[in-house]
């Protein structure tokens, strides 16, 4: 079994209304409780980071899946929303909805991808480490939009 470690450090001083510093090999951000939850809303927050992890993982997995299918997109624009709820005294993420817009080079590529998109989305979801980690706890919806690059007139 191959294992990889992804170390993160969070430095926090004081109570819930303070601002911490989150850092890793690449990431370095202030972190606080979101304003919508009564916090300072400075920097990022765990909820946003969870959705960002899911969105970036799905985007990379989708790009790799499309490449293996010889349907290399010109661009993928992923718009993801996490929906959280407070129930039974617990706050949790209940759904993450991904809405990738996949831009292709021509109508022929669009036609090919249209025929296979659901299968390829399913493969990408199964290959995404974050989706696999969340599955069973958070519903993941993927609603793709396909388009051909606009031609310049």
pLDDT of residue 152: 62
Ordered by start, the domain boundaries in the chain are 1-44, 50-148
- Please determine, for residue 81, whether its predicted confidence score (pLDDT) is greater than 60: yes
pTM of the model: 0.92
- Please determine, for residue 108, whether its predicted confidence score (pLDDT) is greater than 60: yes
CATH 3.30.365.10: does it fit domain 50-148? no
- Please determine, for residue 151, whether its predicted confidence score (pLDDT) is greater than 90: no
Q: Tens digits of per-residue pLDDT, 14-60? A: 999 999 999 999 999 999 999 988 999 999 999 999 999 999 999 99
Mean residue pLDDT across the chain: 95
Distance CA 22, CA 32 (A): 10
Residues in the chain: 153
């Amino acid at each position: 079994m191959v294992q990889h470690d992804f170390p993160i450090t969070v430095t926090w001083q004081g109570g819930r209304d303070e601002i911490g510093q989150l850092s890793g090999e690449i990431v370095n951000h202030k972190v606080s409780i979101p304003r919508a939850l009564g916090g300072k809303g400075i920097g990022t927050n765990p909820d946003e980071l969870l959705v960002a992890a899911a969105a970036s993982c799905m985007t990379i997995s989708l790009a790799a899946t499309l490449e293996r299918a010889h349907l290399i997109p010109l661009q993928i624009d992923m718009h993801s929303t996490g929906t959280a709820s407070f129930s039974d005294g617990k706050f949790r993420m209940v759904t993450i909805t991904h809405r990738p817009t996949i831009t292709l080079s021509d109508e022929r590529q669009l036609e090919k991808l249209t025929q296979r998109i659901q299968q390829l989305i399913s493969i990408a979801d199964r290959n995404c480490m974050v989706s696999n980690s969340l599955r069973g706890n958070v519903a993941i919806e993927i609603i793709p939009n396909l388009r051909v690059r606009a031609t310049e007139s």
